[in-house]
Chains A and B, each alone.
Chain A
Amino acid sequence: MKLELGNIYIKDIQFTEGEAKIDDHILYVNKEAAAAAALGEEEHLASVSFDIAKPGESVRITPVKDVIEPRVKVEGRGGIFPGVIAKVDTVGSGKTYCLKGMAVVTAGKIVGFQEGVIDMSGEGAKYTPFSQTLNLVMVCTPVEGLKQHEYEAAVRFAGFRLATYIGELARDLTPDDTKVYETYGIMEGKEKFPNLPRVAYVQMLQSQGLLHDTYVYGVDAKKTLSTIMNPTETMDGAIVSGNCVSACDKNPTYVHENNPVIADLFEEHGKTINFVCQILTNENVYLADKMRSSDWTAKLCRLLDLDGIILSQEGFGNPDTDLIMNCKKIEAEGVKTVIITDEYAGRDGKSQSLADADVAADAVVTGGNANQVVILPKLDKVIGTMDYITKIAGASEETLRADGTLEVELQVLTGATNETGFNKLSAR
């Protein structure tokens, strides 16, 4: 399967009373038209409002639900977000344009304690990768009496509709640069790269339910068995986030579209490895599901005659067990496994990092310690509301200090300890 990604770099976002368009790398947004596109026939949202947040500005966005990169499919089967916005059809081939340097950010109080913070400047901006994007923020207000799970679904769909609408504005443009990604059939790949190790990416999707969900072609991941996909399918939005969970290590939709593990494996594809495929598995709350799903990933790794895999987790706590089960069982099939996780090692970093462990997990990449404390400055403008800032996971009653600064754990910052490497922490 072959996909050409065309990048169009957005250098500024401005509101206009006139027609929405992208002209000379500037996105012009007409608020009324954007609201109409985002709301569609949604009955659960009373209104949406828009704001723009730019890198370096004294702006805080909270409570953040999702971050999405607008894309448009210009050639090939299907459309962006298949089974969610576009009709169900196999995506991942043909040609897709991506609006780089910008993001659609959805905000609104859904759960209260499981949405995140994006700071566009100051200490927090060093940790969230979305301080570097021009953000078109949509704050969604629900109709009265709406239940949390209905509110979550409404905000999720509004975000995808808005991103799709913005992406469509790029349909007739010429990309600034393009890159081609291609994977092969099992036999074809073996013939093409007879001497290269066969490597796959096993991605664990957050699927604990109760607003901790991920969707694959519109299917709720907790109701799936582990399965195989072409990695280019993710680039067309085959996986989307429906998550309200600790902000630092959940994968917003933007991360699924731009998964760095996939990007890096493609970089080595045909050179040092044969990137065979992507394997998806879930993180459910029943022990039997954890056992079944990890049995299945190990079985698929063996069936595909893999030499090695990279395994990424999403979230923390009981998914640590899914991670270790996957690692143990895949290694037991003779397939070398590297895991990517993050740590909850306490504020002093001295506690056990993961809830589960095994000797098979002998190659580990960490996204950082989510309990690490940072002080965020008082910023001039808030998009959304500060009403829940002391409730967000990683904050406390003592978070808001007398001088207006915030004492929080990295947990509160969207993407700070991301477990696909889509974050800014590193170590020497």
Chain B
Amino acid sequence: MVKEIERAGIPVVHVCTVTPISMTVGANRIVPAIAIPHPLGNPALEPAEEKALRRHIVEKALEALTTEVEDQTIFE
């Protein structure tokens, strides 16, 4: 899906847990997620902490989206 959307001319950030797979399939902007059962959150955290974590991931993804890349890049 990442590749097809980019082929249509729209840049994509792939937020995913297993970044090596994202590299293998050819995503250009990759943001690491938390874990496979809960990529964008962490149920072990308090609600306020989790909200901050979620916001952080989304902000990082937005930042990645507006960053020029030369090669496949993981935004740690």
Please report A residues at the B interface, Cβ cutoff 8 Å.
208-210, 285-287, 290, 318, 320-321, 324-325, 355-358
Contact = CB atoms under 8 A, between A and B. Distances in A.
Contacts of B19: 287
Q: For the side of the interface on B, what is the size category? A: 10 to 19
B32 interface: yes
Given A318-B18, A355-B18, 19 more contacts: A208-B36, A209-B37, A210-B37, A285-B17, A285-B36, A286-B17, A286-B34, A287-B17, A287-B19, A287-B32, A320-B21, A325-B20, A355-B24, A356-B18, A356-B20, A356-B21, A356-B24, A357-B24, A358-B24
B58 interface: no
A324 B17 contact: no
B62 interface: no
29 contacts: A208-B36, A208-B37, A209-B37, A210-B37, A285-B17, A285-B35, A285-B36, A285-B37, A286-B34, A286-B35, A287-B17, A287-B18, A287-B19, A287-B32, A290-B18, A318-B17, A318-B18, A318-B21, A318-B36, A320-B21, A321-B18, A321-B21, A324-B20, A325-B20, A355-B18, A356-B20, A356-B21, A356-B24, A358-B24
Contacts of B17: 285-287, 318
Contacts of A208: 36-37
A356 B37 CA distance: 19
A316 to B, nearest CB: 12
Interface in B10-37: 17-21, 24, 32, 34-37
A321 B20 contact: yes
A358 B21 CA distance: 11
A210 B18 CA distance: 18
Interface in B23-58: 24, 32, 34-37
A290 B32 CA distance: 14
A210 B17 CA distance: 17
B21 to A, nearest CB: 5
Contacts of A209: 37
